[in-house]
Amino acid sequence: MGLCQRCDKRLAARAGHGMGGRTTAMTTGKTGHTSIIRKAFGGLDKEAIDKLRVFAVKKTYPPDTVLCREGDPADTFYVVTAGRVVVTKELEGDDDFVLGFITPGGYFGEMALITDEPRSATVTTLVETEVLEITKEQFDQVFRTSPAMARNILKTMIQIVRETDQRAIEDLEKRNRELAKAYEELAAAQADRIARAALEAQLEVAAKAQRSLLPTTLPSVPGFQFAARFEPARHIGGDFYDVRKIDGDLVAVLLADVSDKGAHA
């Protein structure tokens, strides 16, 4: 359950088969899938079962066939007799949210028929799948006259809503945790960037102060030639030098090296 990157379950059929591709199905006519109907709707009376058997049309669809598309009008109720389908909800972007999977004995399409609203989800076959199809008019006839069927369907709908809400909450909590982690990482990176910028500014101030202490020119003394080059190991260093004439031909050369490197040096 959860998000599916097109599920790896061959959901490409959204743009291919589906409501308009129904001609690919094999119709085998009315059939008596009594055991499947009993499994799908526990407690059904004989009259309701007989009606469903008469109304139901068995069809077989290949993999990747969209049986119901989200947003489309609803006109059919389905009972799965063989195979497997996936129920998905469209999200923004390229991802689908998987609401669940339906196997033999399960059914779908009832919610839109009861509420007279468009399909709320997309149902796609994952493998070759056989279903019993019942039209909206036939479904309404059985639903209104069979309290057991109505009770079973409403119970299933409530369960689906609860499970969907729970999965949505879990997915939201997961996303919130991911966002919180991303925010913490971003905040740490921003704090590090600000700290680095502040350090760079301090070091630049210290470097300017150090350069102001060093002589820009050296004295000219007959018989001597003085030259100096200052290149700190880091932004700034603890080195100091100077050349000064003391008296006559007496010259003092001063060299100093403060321990360590950095602003405090």
- Give CA angle at 14 (12, 16), nearest 5°: 85
Least confident of 65-69, 107-111, 235-239: 235-239
Indicate the average pLDDT of the chain. 77
Quick one: 2-162 is in which CATH superfamily? Answer: Jelly Rolls (2.60.120.10)
pLDDT at 254 over 50: yes
pLDDT tens for 84-137 read 999 998 877 667 788 889 999 888 998 888 888 999 899 999 999 999 999 999
Residue 30: what pLDDT? 45
Residue-range domain boundaries for the chain: 2-162, 176-257
Residue 21 is given by DSSP the state: G
State pTM to two decimals.
Answer: 0.53
Position 152 pLDDT exceeds 80: no
User: Of 139, 135, 19, whose CA–CA distance to 72 is shortest?
Assistant: 19
Statement: residue 78 has pLDDT above 60: yes
Tell me the pLDDT band of 235, cut-offs 50, 70 and 90.
low
Residue 21 has pLDDT above 50, yes or no: no
* Model confidence at 141: pLDDT above 80: yes
Secondary structure class of 209 (helix, strand, coil): helix
CB contact set of 87 (below 8 Å; sequence gap of 6+)? 98, 99, 100, 101, 102, 108, 121, 122, 123
Whether 20 shows a pLDDT value over 80: the answer reads no
| pLDDT interval class at 9 (50, 70, 90) | very low
**pLDDT band at residue 18 using 50, 70 and 90 as cut-offs:** very low
Give the total residue count for the chain. Answer: 265
